[in-house]
Chains A and B, each alone.
Chain A
Amino acid sequence: MSNEDAQVLSRFVTRMPEEYRVTDTPIAVPSRITRYGLSEVVNHLLALEKPRPFDFLVDGELIRGSLEKFMLSKNVSAESVVTLEYIPAVAPPTHVSAGESKDWLSAVDGSHPNFILTGACDGCARIWNTQGDCVVDFPVQPEALTSVSWVPGTSTQKHGVVTAGKDSTAKLWEFDSDQNSCKLLASFTGHTDSIEAIAVAGDGELMGTASWDSTVRLWKLNVDDSETVPTEKKQRTTGGASDANVTTTSSAEAILEGHTGCVSALSWHSAEEIFSASWDRSVRKWDANKATAVQVFSVPKAIHCMSVGAQGALVALGGAERSVRLWDPRLSASTTTTTLTSHTAWVSAVEWCPSNSYHLVSASFDNSVKLWDIRSQVPLHTLAAHADKVLCVDWHAGNFIASGGADCKLSIHKLQH
């Protein structure tokens, strides 16, 4: 074969710190070299004490397989100098710990730097630490929980928690990390069917709930001062464990109507903008102040989960199909930009990495959690942590992946950066 010894002139560049830079001179590398070979080359050039794996990008796409194959598929001439940008490779996530739940874990939120919040089908919310130990286990409702979320921007000891479930009420709790106790602060009623998703805006002011009654309701959270909850109907009930007053709010700040099916996912983009995804195969972007739909985007299948990227760049959608769709709401064309196909069953959860805008984690009914770099169509890593359907997944503390599923386990993986 003539390609046996074909060589490609490559220039290695990086955005990493100075000590990881190599010479600008193009280096001839065999065209059949793979990522591992390239990584060895760079390591050799760097002469690091401890070799470091690198991933390589050409024109913003990760190299998977050999360089030759990649260039053929991208129609890059082998005679020109190829600029290879190298980035630190993502090592396979290591399994850190697994927490046992009593029932299926249907929701997980790892946005708190120290704790992981989960909701289970038995109606109990649990708060775990990173080591997989259950800190607090508090019954929320007799029905299954479908969504839980931390309320951001609270103090170091007292953390707000919102839960929602099949009993169509959302509840606001206060978690005291010192005492490891939870206190119900308020409940929000109004939905006529079970709530599927709950999301709290970045400033902690507004909470959105998405329900089977095809509506999205926005509620105002007043965690610090429950007395000033501006509601018309205030019902005072006595809390079970604590003597604190529990506010029941039945009137929502806004009702976003427009979906024709179950609204299954909800995600804040900014304090004013909220995305909702529905079984009616549409994604809507709402203006929270005006309570109107700004943008509507349709996909061919029902959507079960959604995650909006950090800068609102990309919306990842998972649903009643085997792939994750990426949609750029900034584009006028209402087509999905990328489809990430690797799962063999429904995708039950997707979540963008808060620390790396390229990374995405997805959970599926095929018992697997996959870590994607959207610069490549192939998943970076597949975590086979569960023995049954994975129902929820989230990032925790930047480099942990927490996932829960029908095997009642909270599985925590650590990602080495």
Chain B
Amino acid sequence: MAKRSSSREATKAPASQKKEDDENYEVTELGMSSDEEHEFDDQEVEVMVPPNDDEEDEDEAEEEQEDEEAESDGHGGEDESDGEISDDVEFDEEEGDADEEGEEDDDGDGEGDDAVDDEEFMERMLQQSIDEDKGAAGNEEEEDEEGSDKGPAMEDAYDSQGSDSSDDERPQRNTVGNVPLKWYKDEEHIGYDKDGKRIAKSEKRDALDAFLARTDNKKEWRTVRDEYNDEDVVLTKEEMEMVRRIRRGQFPDVNINPFEEYVDWMKWEDGGKHPLSSAPEPKRRFIPSKSEAKKVVKLVRALRRGWIKMDKPKEEPKTYLLWADDNQIMEKNANGLTYIPAPKPQLPGHDQSYNPSGEYLPTEEEQAAITMLDESERPKFVPQDFDSMRQIPSYDKYVKERFERCLDLYLCPRTRKKRINIDPESLLPKLPKPKDLQPFPTTLCVQYEGHTGPVWSVSVDPSGQWLATGSSDCTVRVWEVRTGRCQRVWRVGYAAKCVQWSPDPSVRLLAVAADTRVLLLNAEVGGPDVREATAKALTLIKRESDKSSDALAVWSSWEGEGAGALSKGGLQLQQKHVVRQLAWHHRGDYFTSVAPMGGPFAVLVHQLSKQATQNPFRKNKGRVLRAIFHPSKPFFFVATQQHVRVYNLAKQTLAKKLTASVSKISSMAIHPQGDNLIVGSNDNKLTWFDMDLSTRPYKTISSHAHSIEGVAFHRSYPLFASCADDATVHVFHGMVYSDLLQNPLIVPVKILRGHAVEDHLGVLDCTFHPTLPWLFTAGADQTVRLFCN
């Protein structure tokens, strides 16, 4: 540091001679120390001071010195211009020349000025070696290459690196502050001292001085130039040692031992017997973890439910379909992707070759036929033959086809539709085939002809030998079932809307509803005993006090107006309202008549043996349309428009109320076992009630196209039928099981056609044969038909 201060003093003097002396001295010093250096460090020889390099440098330096002189001539001009630019530094101009050269050095050592002095060379060497060894000291290089823009800061850094210990001791000579040195390039001072005097820059040494200094000054080799403070710094031996250590990659400080002994602070001397903390082991170390248990449960559940599969992952096939369609490949690869590739247009075949085989080419006739065709019918492509590809004309339909293809792709939405392939048949309940449910009526066998009006009612006598019909032609006829011969005819004067045989096998009498009258006719069939019993039953009982005004129905004898002497007549019940329906009690003594318009007198129950009439209901809820007796028990079914009320005749209470949920009940029939009821309605519905099950319909069958006119159960076979205004009769298999748990089995088995629709009326009534699976139907087309199995 003493030397530095001395040199500083020397530089205070404007004379350059002294400076040169100093430099020379330093150079000599450098030369001496270089030897020393060589002695203690062989490695640096190559890098440090190749003598040849030095010579070359010198040569170059000489040449460049000339250049610099030439330039320095021009510098004066520049200075003037600078002075013009910046008035602030005007007063500095006097001393400007001295600093010029130094400034030059800062500017660009790339140009190779005489600044290739030893200081810089040393610097560069040092930096290079640092770079090479550590690769971490790029700051210096930047400093050198980019010049003095960052100069002060970098030099500070350098200073701090180079001599951090001396920083505190030595004050900065430069007082301009942290500004780019470039600003002071043309100035001769580098700040002001505390007295306000300028601190002059040290005189710039030329190459010769540098050389001399290098030769003279032994310390020159370890002298570095501090540009910021504009002084030369001779590094001490300690600093050199530090530089050397850095270059080796060692800690700069000698005192730092990088390989100190490792002290394991956490190692317990007693082998971990005693922990660091004396706290007792927490309880949770000893109880099973709940959160872990939960996790395990989750995993187990996932395993059980198959969310986690322990199977090996599926191996991706290493081969792929090379020639497969894109669609196939997409189906395999795209899992759940919604993208559906457009179908590819068909690849051209042999026929679309420019030179197809002869069989693809149309013959002349075909060609002629094609040209004869309409534009729209013509095939899209007609194979043509060309000798070479050169002769193929441009395809005239290209644009059109491309457009149509685009239009197809655009207009055809390609969406993935989730289609569930369920065979609709499998959804249907398994019903036995009708073939297995035989016998049931299938074919028309006998036609009973003779009526001249729609036949409203049909009834078979209990033996099955006779058939009675009532018609709008005001006749009631009895037919022999087998031959179809009309055996009896009665003219009843009004349309016979209902005809019912008495179920009593000991008599053969017919109940006929004709307008407001109910007639009980002796059919005059059967054996002599039967006839006698019938005649006896139909004998009018004379009574003294018959007040016709009070009576519900007036019983009187009726003289037949029948054709022939056979129809002798019977009894007549004169009622006040038009009787629409009759139904017998199963014993054949009581029968009921229904007059829908009768209001409170709609339902009357008549007793044949006493020839008496009673009204079971004081008031009827709604218009009564049908009424029937239970086949075995004392129940009475009364159908109003939408409900069927079941009355217990023994207890005289309402037992059940069945809701048919139809518009208007038109007919009703009860299963011979008495637990099931079918109801036909005007809105084409046939409703089956299982009265043990519910008061709601068990099944509703809407098979008819028009309103149902009549329904019937077979007495012994599991059959029931419905006839409707669409002139069809639907026959069903209706099996009722004695097991209460088993629901009735209802299978439609046959649609019987044959009747004709007349005046919107089709088949008006149907009834089964009592013993055989035969069905009698009465149609509005004036015929009665027998369908047999």
Contacts and interface: CB of A to CB of B under 8 A. Distances in A.
A103 to B, nearest CB: 9
Give the residue among B439, B446, B526, B774 with the most A Cβ atoms within 10 A: B526
B465 A365 contact: no
Nearest to B444: A345
A121 B485 contact: yes
Given A192-B527, A193-B463, A144 B788 contact: no
A302 B463 contact: no
Interface string B500-530: 0000000000000000000000000111111
B199 to A, nearest CB: 141
Given A104-B485, A212-B463, A142 B527 contact: no
Contacts of A365: 445-446
Contact of B465 (A194, A301, A304, A389): A194
B276 to A, nearest CB: 106
A406 B483 contact: yes
A152 interface: no
Contact of A142 (B463, B566, B771, B788): B566
Contacts of B487: 144, 166
Contacts of A262: 463-465
A261 interface: yes
Given A104-B483, A212-B463, A391-B483, A320 B445 contact: yes
A346 B772 CA distance: 15
Interface residues of A, number: 33
B504 to A, nearest CB: 14
B483 A389 contact: yes
Interface residues of B, dominant DSSP: loop
B482 interface: yes
A389 B526 contact: no
B102 interface: no
A351 B484 CA distance: 22
B760 to A, nearest CB: 31
B161 interface: no
Nearest to B529: A192
A302 B446 contact: no
Nearest to A192: B527
Contacts of A325: none
Contact of A168 (B527, B566, B772): B527
B172 interface: no
B614 interface: no
Contact of B483 (A106, A194, A261, A279): A106
A191 B465 contact: no
Chain A contact residues: helix, strand, loop or mixed: loop
A205 interface: no
A391 to B, nearest CB: 6
Contacts of A320: 445, 772, 774, 788-789
A213 interface: yes
A304 B526 contact: no
A182 to B, nearest CB: 23
Interface in A89-130: 104, 106, 121
A346 B446 contact: yes
Contacts of B480: 144
Nearest to A142: B566
A208 to B, nearest CB: 18
B534 to A, nearest CB: 13
A189 interface: yes
Contact of A345 (B445, B529, B772): B445
Contacts of A391: 483
B774 to A, nearest CB: 8
Nearest to B506: A192
Contacts of B464: 261-262, 279
Contact of B485 (A144, A192, A213): A144
A346 B771 CA distance: 18
B566 A194 contact: no
Contacts of B772: 279, 302, 320
A261 B465 CA distance: 10
A121 B485 CA distance: 9
Contacts of B485: 104, 121, 144, 406
A304 to B, nearest CB: 6
A193 B529 CA distance: 9
Interface in B466-494: 480, 482-485, 487
Nearest to B530: A192
Given A144-B487, A391-B483, A194 B526 contact: yes
A139 to B, nearest CB: 13
B771 A389 contact: no
Nearest to A212: B465
Nearest to A211: B527
B525 A194 contact: yes
B506 to A, nearest CB: 9
B422 to A, nearest CB: 40
A365 B481 CA distance: 13
A70 B484 CA distance: 41
Interface in B731-779: 771-772, 774
A252 to B, nearest CB: 14
Contacts of B482: 264, 304
Contacts of B774: 320
Contacts of A142: 565-566
Interface in A293-307: 300-302, 304
Nearest to A304: B482
Interface of B: 439, 445-446, 463-465, 480, 482-485, 487, 525-530, 565-566, 771-772, 774, 788-789
Given A346-B446, A406-B484, 6 more contacts: A104-B485, A121-B483, A262-B463, A304-B482, A320-B772, A320-B789
17 contacts: A121-B483, A142-B565, A142-B566, A166-B487, A192-B527, A194-B465, A194-B526, A194-B527, A212-B465, A261-B771, A262-B465, A279-B464, A279-B772, A320-B774, A320-B788, A345-B445, A406-B485
Q: Which 8 A-B pairs have the closest CB atoms?
A: A192-B527, A168-B527, A193-B527, A320-B788, A212-B465, A193-B526, A121-B485, A346-B445
